[in-house]
Structure 1
Amino acid sequence: MRTAKNGDVVKVHYTGKLTNGEVFDSSKGREPLEFKLGEGEMIPGFEAGIIGMQVGEKKVINIPKEEAYGDPLPQLIADFPKSELPEGFPMEEGAQIGVTLADGRQIPAVITAVKENSITIDANHPLAGKDLIFEVELVEIGSSLIL
C-alpha cells in the first residue's frame, strides 16, 4: 500500500492539543486539511509525522516545541507608550491586534500587559514555547490535488 512521502499532496483530519489536553484546533466538522509534504507549509514535526502514513491510518504525533513554533522570541515582545497609540486602540489585556512590520506585512499580536503609561504587545505565535499533540488521520494521498 502507498505511503505518504515528500512531494505528495495529502489530506488529513486532525485535532491539535496542548499537553494539558486543551484542544487548540481541529478539522472536525470541516474539510480535511490539504497540503504538500516537503514544502514547509506546516510545522516540521507535523509534516514528519505524516510521512510514512497510509490512507486510513490514524496516529498520535507528539511534537516538541523545537519542531513546532520554537521558543518565544524576546524581540517580538515590546512596550509601546499609550500616548503614541491611535485613538480607539484596544487597551485591554488579551486583546488581539494586527501589527504592521517595517516591510508592510501584518502579523497577529496580543496585548499581554496594560500599564499606567504603556502597553506590552507580544507578536510571537500563540503556540510558541509549547509542546503539541496531534491526533491525525490520513484521508487521501495524491500528487496534484492542489491546483
Structure 2
Amino acid sequence: MSEINVPVSESTRVYLNFSVSLEDGSEVDTNFGGDPVEFAVGDGSLLAGFERRLFGMTAGERKMFTVPPEDAFGQPNENNVQRMKREQFEDDIDLEIGLVFSFADAGGSELPGMVIAFDDAEVTVDFNHPLAGRTILFDVHIHRVEPAELH
C-alpha cells in the first residue's frame, strides 16, 4: 500500500505524539518517547481548540502551538467554586489545600473538585478544570494521517 500524504481535516484518522505544557515550561502531559496515539477528527478525544490547530498538517510535521484559555480549558467560572458543610466530609479525612476529591454530579458522573479553603464549619471546593485560565503550549508530531473510513 502506498503512503498518501493526506492533510489533517474532517474525516481523517491521525497518529501523533504530543506534549501539553504550561507557559513556564512545566509539562502537564506527554506521550513523546512512547507509541503515537490515534484519534479520528471530531471524536472528542481532543479539545476542538487543539484539534483545529492540526488541520492542514501532514505526516512528518512537528509544530508547537500556543493555545489561549478560550480554546483550551476555558476561563475559571466562579459558579464552579462551592462551599460545603464540613460534616459532608468524613471525620477521619485530613483536609488540606490542594486535596482532590471525586464527587458525583446530578447525572451520576464523577466530577473532580479541589479543596481551596476550609475551616471547622465549611470546605470550599473548586470544580473548575485545573488548567482553566491557563495558556497551553501544545507540541505535536504527526506520524500518519489517513481517511477515517479505513477503520
Give 2:97's aligned amino acid.
E
Of the candidates 47, 53, 56, which is equivalent to residue 52 of structure 1? Answer: 56
Aligned residue for 1:128?
Answer: 132
Query: Quick one: which amino acid aligns to residue 101 of structure 2?
Result: I
Structure 1 regions of 5+ residues with no counterpart?
none
Q: Structure 2 CA distance, aligned partners of 1:30 and 1:84?
A: 42
1:118 equivalenced with 2:122 (yes/no)? yes
Scaled by the length of structure 2, the TM-score of the pair is 0.87
- Which of 18, 26, 29 is 2:22 aligned to? 18
CA RMSD, 1 decimal: 1.9
Q: CA deviation at 1:29?
A: 3.2
How far off its partner does 1:50 sit?
A: 1.0
2:113 matched to which residue of 1? 109
1:143 CA displacement: 3.3
Change in 2 beyond 3 A, CA 1:57/1:123: same
Q: Aligned-pair distance for 1:71?
A: 0.6
- Are residues 68 and 144 of structure 1, via their aligned partners in 2, closer, same or farther at CA, if it must alter by over 3 Å? same
State the alpha-carbon separation in 2 of the partners of residues 146 and 24 from structure 1. 32
In the superposition, relative to structure 1, how do residues 114 and 30 fare at CA in structure 2: closer, same or farther (>3 Å)? farther
Q: What is the TM-score normalised by the length of structure 1?
A: 0.89
Instruction: State the Cα deviation string for residues 47-104 of structure 1 (Å, max 9, x = none).
Output: 0111110101000111111001111122211111112223434511111110111111
Aligned letter for 1:132?
I
- Equivalent pairs counted in the alignment come to 147
Letter of the aligned partner of 1:121 in structure 2? V
Cα distance change on mapping 1:114 and 1:59 into 2, 3 Å: same
Q: Say whether residues 1:139 and 2:150 are aligned partners.
A: no
Amino acid in the other structure paired with 2:137: I
1:3 aligns with 7
Larger radius of gyration: 2
Q: How many angstroms does 1:25 deviate by?
A: 0.8
List gaps (5 residues or longer) in structure 2: none
